[in-house]
Amino acid sequence: MTTYSNRTDLTLEAQELLVRGEPDKKDFDGIITHTRREGKLNITKVEVTNDNGAAKIGKSVGTYVTIEMGNSELKSNEDYVHARSAIATELSALIPNIENKTVLIIGLGNWNVTPDALGPKVVSKLAITRHILEHFPDEREKNLNPVCAIAPGVLGITGIETAEIIKGVADRVKPDFIIAIDALASMRTERVNKTILLCDTGISPGSGVGNKRKELSKNTLGVPVYAIGVPTVVDAITMANETIEAIINALKEEVKTSENIYSFMKDIDPQDKQELISKVFNPGDENMIVTPRGIDEAITIMSKLIADSLNVFIHRHNYSYLQQAYLM
């Protein structure tokens, strides 16, 4: 029997699943969660501090920051600027001592598939400075960091593992650190295009969409690899799973009084649930995604937000000069 499991790339959601599985427990060994509110933003930091926690939550040891923006951020200039500076501040906390360091930014994903085009779109909006600093020594006094970037494509359109391309490029560019940008899958529609994930553990391109490719991390690339992600879809099967889960919970509530039915309900998950789901889905449904109708516009705005945040973060020592001298 195929297993139809919930697909999420958000550590926050992995942690929520843990809590859902063991509702009476608040703390897990090796997993520390802090949440704070900042203006309209909800910022959650999940720290996975040891192998115990890593095994439990299914994520590497490291720090994961989730910034949830609610509905506001896309509409007013004020909210946009606030989000941009919050993201830049969180990046500064996550990535220390960047002065004079060369950064290679990787825009993962397929530019021909709208919800997967986030990474390449971010790359196209960055202030790229490495070649200018190389050819115009005077610019070096301006305190800008050398930034270079690449959108390597995906296995299906290159025939080459993305990790291989990046290794090849990194071997020649020799960056001090790498930031990879990718579109992710969430479990919840209300997070789609309204949430940004930052982490210091690298990323496995394509992991959110089913296939685990070779990971991008300090292990494989030799320098620190940070990742920025935005959930742009919910997997259709995950959505159905969540629907069923919610329905069963609702049914349980209603039938609590009737002992027999309640015990039956308790029995049906989780194995039988898989069988139920396998009856609902059609062949090809594993490629179905749930996404807002306005996805094209949302991707445009989110990619601009991330590119701007990166520009502010990386060149914060001389951002005003950057704005004046470079077309962004």
Within 73-132, the residues that bind a second copy by CB under 8 A are 74-77, 111-116, 123-124, 128-132
Asked if 202 contacts 180 with a C-beta cutoff of 8 angstroms, the reply is yes
Question: Distances from the Cα of 126 to the Cαs of 134, 137, 241, 313, in angstroms?
Answer: 18, 21, 38, 12
Nearer to a second copy, 53 or 175 (CB): 175
Q: How far is the CB of 31 from a second copy (least distance, A)?
A: 26
Q: Are 46 and 66 in contact (CB under 8 A)?
A: yes
Q: Which is nearer to a second copy, 26 or 279 (CB)?
A: 279
Binding mask 32-71 for a second copy (x = CB under 8 A): ---------------------------------------x
**Spatial contact of 40 and 73, defined as CB atoms under 8 Å apart:** yes
170 binds a second copy (CB under 8 A): yes
> What residues form DSSP beta bridges with 64?
46, 199
Interaction between residue 292 and a second copy (CB under 8 A): yes
Rounded Cα distance between 273 and 277, Å, is 6
* Shortest Å distance, C-beta 230 to a second copy: 16
Contact assessment for residue 251 and residue 265, using Cβ atoms and an 8 Å cutoff: yes
User: CB of residue 322 vs a second copy: minimum separation in angstroms?
Assistant: 11
Strands 147-150 and 103-107: parallel
Give the type of residue at 53: G
Which residues, numbered 210-269, are part of the site for a second copy (CB under 8 A)? Answer: 233, 236, 239-240, 242-244, 246-247, 250-251, 254-255, 258, 260-261, 264, 268
The two structure tokens encoding residue 264: 């039956």
Q: Considering the rule CB under 8 A, would residue 207 count as an interface residue with a second copy? A: no
Q: Is 160 in the site for a second copy (CB under 8 A)?
A: yes
Residue closer to a second copy, measured from CB, 4 or 226: 4
CB atoms within 10 A of CB 145: 21
Q: Which is nearer to a second copy, 209 or 227 (CB)?
A: 209
Check if the beta carbon of residue 203 is closer than 8 Å to that of residue 229.
yes
Nearest approach in angstroms of CB 146 to a second copy is 7
Using the rule CB under 8 A, which residue among 150, 218, 316, 321 binds a second copy?
Answer: 150
Tokens 């309900």, residue?
265
Smallest separation (angstroms) from a second copy to the CB of 108: 14
Q: Is there a contact between 261 and 255 (Cβ–Cβ < 8 Å)? A: yes
Greatest distance between any 2 Cα atoms in the chain: 80
CB of 114 to a second copy, least distance (A): 6
Interface region with a second copy, contact rule CB under 8 A, candidates 34-42, 82-90, 145-153, 199-207: 145-153
Q: How far is the CB of 62 from a second copy (least distance, A)?
A: 27
